[in-house]
Amino acid sequence: MEKPWIWITFLLLVAAGLFVNVTFLHPSEKKTEHKTSQQTGQNATTTSSSFDPEAFYKQTCITCHGDHYQGVVGPSLKNLSKKYTQADVENILKNGKSGGMPAGLVKPENIPAMAKWVLSLK
């Protein structure tokens, strides 16, 4: 006979791990602000950031999608380019997907780079 409390406990532990990853271990994305008001006389600020999709994956996504992208609780990410377009993956990253993929894990400005990287996985 199946013991549902085991699955409930497992899912709660996975959810807690994901929460800890997203809340406390979120990769610090280096942002450098350059004030150009002194140089150009304008009141403008530009921001540059370096985003490493693989490092982000290791910090945030590995719990559900596995250390080799094989899928654990979430689906395998291998060969997604056969199934999804760049726009499809960007939409999933932005809005989530029913069945467990939460929305908003990736910052909006990093979604295109993350989607491109995910689609490159073989």
Question: Tens of pLDDT along the chain (122 residues)?
Answer: 567 777 677 767 777 666 666 565 555 444 444 443 344 444 433 334 699 999 999 999 999 999 999 999 999 999 999 999 999 999 999 999 888 899 999 999 999 999 999 999 99
Domain 4-120 CATH (choose: 3.40.50.1970, 3.40.50.150, 1.10.357.10, 1.10.760.10): 1.10.760.10
Q: What is the dihedral of CA 112, 114, 116, 120, to 10 degrees?
A: 180
Tell me how far apart the alpha carbons of residues 89 and 118 are, in angstroms, rounded to a whole number: 8
Domain extents for the chain?
4-120
What predicted TM-score, i.e. pTM, was given to this entire model? 0.60
